[in-house]
Amino acid sequence: MTKFSDLNLNSKVLKAIEEAGYETPTPIQAGAIPPALEGRDVLGIAQTGTGKTASFTLPLITMLARGRARARMPRSLVLCPTRELAAQVAENFDTYAKHVKLTKALLIGGVSFKEQDILIDKGVDVLIATPGRLLDHFERGKLILNDVKVMVVDEADRMLDMGFIPDIERIFGLTPFTRQTLFFSATMAPEIERITNTFLSNPERIEVARQATASETIEQGVVMFKGSRKDREASEKRKVLRMLIDAEGEKCTNAIIFCNRKTDVDIVAKSLTKYKYDAAPIHGDLDQSQRTRTLEGFRNGDLRFLVASDVAARGLDVPSVSHVFNFDVPSHAEDYVHRIGRTGRAGRDGKAIMICVPRDERNFEDIEKLIQKAIPRIDNPLAKGRSEAAEAPKDAAEEKPKATRAPRAPRTPKAEPAPAETTTAPEPVAEKPKSTSSRSRSSSSSRSRSSSSRDERGGNKVVGLGDHTPSFIELSFEERRAS
């Protein structure tokens, strides 16, 4: 078995490693450190949580133990995708270089330029930075990269996801062609393969695990969840999360809860706090000082639940995280591996539970294809309560008596007017059949009105002709004229 003493590291570095409690290197460390010390380019591919940070930190300190940096001209450069990962690299550097007189500077957003400029002006041996802040200093004329002897790119696949590849290519162009490059990534996308072919010279390739595989020490599970109604899905999903946490009991000493969107991070953290769970959010929109305080509280054990976006999925080295809850199925399958890699670190056991709603099933299938195994299904904790609730109203409905209406009072028929007296009895009029057409109804109505008016004048028989001839008609012309 390989030991750190077999890797030709500086004696002062070995002393710091021993004081940190490490005895044997991980596979990626044993494979990457020897060629790095020989001055060769290294391409390291390993799953998260395997010790990649020490794979470049230890040889870097050993190579820089001799020499001195000049003002504004760092001797080495370490690029990280996020502030948290850059801060973690800086902590590793402090741990392993405490017996070696080397200087460092951390260039990340959320910190004033003035404080960083003071450090750069003094000259630093190791410059640890995020790409954006590094280029800001360069464009302000505060940084010269002509003396960089070793350049490290950490979590290159995350750089690709965050859109930093153009910045990385530009930074490569600002450093000397003769530099040594140490390049680390968990996956090898085609774009990353292109960069390594362009900027690395005959690199030593170390691949210690199948690309994008999860650690075997992590127990995985998924709840296939569907809300009772669309407008209740979000609140019911948060309830499922709380029930899953409660089901783990004391085994869940602490946990990271991942959400896809920053707004959901805030909502879930607020919901957990409302129900008396010790939780706090962390994402890119928060102030850097607040993010730092939250991370420190989680590392120290003062905070039990860290609700995070993918900004915290990479590089958070908290060895004792017992659980990871994926509140959302990640959009990219590779992110699932990095998320659950926050638990089960350094050989410890861990557990990762995910909640999958119907619209995320396609992304879930991509995850199972990537890790080449089926994730065990966990019963929905809301299913039992929902079925009981559905049965209760049914029983109640059966026992409930049917509502009855009070009987209506019979209608009193209206008294019909007595017919007018006539000398001759009216002849009966045969009723015509009703027609469904509107024209027939209109004609019938008109006839009815005419008939009723004739009835009022004394029946249907025409009066004024025949036997009832007026007397003036019977007079002769002369008689009418005389009258």
pLDDT digits (tens, 9 = 90+) for 95-108: 999 999 899 999 99
Average pLDDT value for the chain: 82
Confidence class for position 143, pLDDT limits 50, 70, 90:
very high
Q: What does the pLDDT read at residue 276? A: 95
> In whole angstroms, what is the distance from residue 202 CA to residue 199 CA?
10
More confident residue, 399 or 259: 259
CATH of 218-385 given 3.40.190.10, 3.40.50.800, 3.40.50.300, 1.10.3720.10 = 3.40.50.300
Amino acid at 98: K
Ramachandran angles phi, psi of 324, nearest 5°: -125, 125
Name which residue leads in pLDDT, 466 or 375. Answer: 375
Say what the pTM is.
0.64
In tens, the pLDDT along 221-235 reads 999 999 999 899 999
Is 86's pLDDT higher than 60? yes
pLDDT for 188 equals 82
Calculate mean pLDDT across residues 458-476. 58
Residue 349's closest CA among 252, 279, 213, 256?
Answer: 252
H helices present in 301-417, as ranges = 333-340, 361-371, 381-399
**Mean per-residue pLDDT, 329-342:** 86
- The full set of domain ranges for the chain reads 4-207, 218-385, 441-477
Q: What's the CA dihedral at 365, 367, 370, 371 to 10 degrees?
A: -110
CB 341 within 8 A of CB 49: yes
Query: In this model, does residue 133 exceed pLDDT 50?
Result: yes
Fold match, 4-207 / 218-385: yes
pLDDT reading at 369 higher than 60: yes
Q: Give mean pLDDT, residues 145-157.
A: 93
Tally of CB atoms within 10 A around 189: 16
Could you give the strand order of the β-sheet that contains 377-378, starting from the edge strand earlier in sequence? 279-282, 305-308, 255-258, 323-326, 350-356, 218-224, 377-378
Q: Per residue in 10-65, pLDDT tens?
A: 999 999 999 988 889 989 999 999 999 999 999 998 876 678 899 999 999 999 98
Quick check: 264 and 234 in contact, CB under 8 A?
no
- Over 50: is that where the pLDDT of 450 sits? no
Asked if pLDDT for residue 299 goes beyond 90, the answer is no
pLDDT > 90? residue 375: yes
What pLDDT sits at residue 212? 61
* pLDDT of res. 474: 64
388 pLDDT above the threshold of 80: no
CATH (one of 3.40.50.300, 3.30.2090.10, 3.90.1310.10, 3.40.50.450) for 4-207:
3.40.50.300
Whether residue 70 is predicted with pLDDT greater than 50 in this model: the reply is: yes
- pLDDT of 83: 86
